[in-house]
Structure 1
């Protein structure tokens, strides 16, 4: 260190200082300005990219939330449609059952009415046949009974005995 102090030259020091300051001014004007502006531009670009990424992330979250909401609404709508379809199916089945029961009741009532009509007609026919048969038998019996005078009197007396005076 002593050697440095002994060989120290003030002129050389001034020249070196001037050259160093000049070099610093040249570097500042031509190198540091563009380097710093490039660094600043890069920094701004990175900030913009980060903010764009944040915005994209927020937008993606919003879209996912909207998608979830739409899916939930679609599911709810599907469930409502299925429920409505089930209710409509059950109503149609119930209506068909009621209509079938009504038709069956009408058919049974018509069948019973037809049976009753046929029964009455058969009974009337049977009565007519019985009456005809009775008349025919009565004619034969009376014809035979009335052919003999003694039998006629006996028949009249038994009939009179059977009837009572009111």
Structure 2
């Protein structure tokens, strides 16, 4: 708008005004400056702006790739985390199964040990009973032998004569047998 009014003023004005304005503004310098500025802009666009925009596009593409890579890594991390959680859950279940199995085996072994111990105690008790009975029989036999020999000695002194040992023994054993039946 300012330029339009300036052009209109310049057309209506007299030639001395234009000369006066040219001296004050130095129109030649302005034209040269505008020309150089235009050339500079064309050169900048060709040599600086193009490569700069290429670098900016490359940078934007690199950032987009990194964002995509980060998103992919985040997704993979989520999957790995989920897999780790599943593996941990599975490991816990396995550990519980192992503990439960060990507990069951322990109970089974305890029952086996108790039954083995009871069987061993029963066997030892039976052996002891048999041994006691055997020892009792041995003791009874020893007492009988002692009783027989004492009886023979006593009988021979009482009778004053000696009878044969075989007759004496038969007589004493018969007496002992009769005494045993009376019990």
TM-score, normalised via structure 1 length: 0.61
**Do structure 1's residue 26 and structure 2's residue 26 form an aligned pair?**
no
Count, aligned residues? 137
| Candidates 9, 15, 23, aligned match of 1:6 | 9
Residues 117-139 of structure 1: CA distance to partner in whole angstroms, max 9, x if unpaired?
Answer: 34445556667749x86xx78xx
Q: 1:73, CA displacement in angstroms?
A: 2.1
The answer for the alignment partner of 1:93 in structure 2 is 110
The answer for the alignment partner of 2:86 in structure 1 is 69
Distance in 2, Cα, partners of 1:24 & 1:7:
29
Q: 1:6, CA displacement in angstroms?
A: 2.6
The answer for the alignment partner of 2:179 in structure 1 is none
Further displaced range: 85-94 or 19-28 = 19-28
Distance in 2, Cα, partners of 1:80 & 1:39:
60
Unpaired runs of 5+ residues, structure 1, are: 144-166
The answer for the alignment partner of 1:112 in structure 2 is 129
Residues 67-90 of structure 1: CA distance to partner in whole angstroms, max 9, x if unpaired?
Answer: 112212222222222222222222
Distance in 1, Cα, partners of 2:40 & 2:6:
28
The answer for the alignment partner of 2:59 in structure 1 is 42
In angstroms, what is the RMSD of aligned CA positions? 3.8
Distance in 2, Cα, partners of 1:50 & 1:126:
110
TM-score, normalised via structure 2 length: 0.56
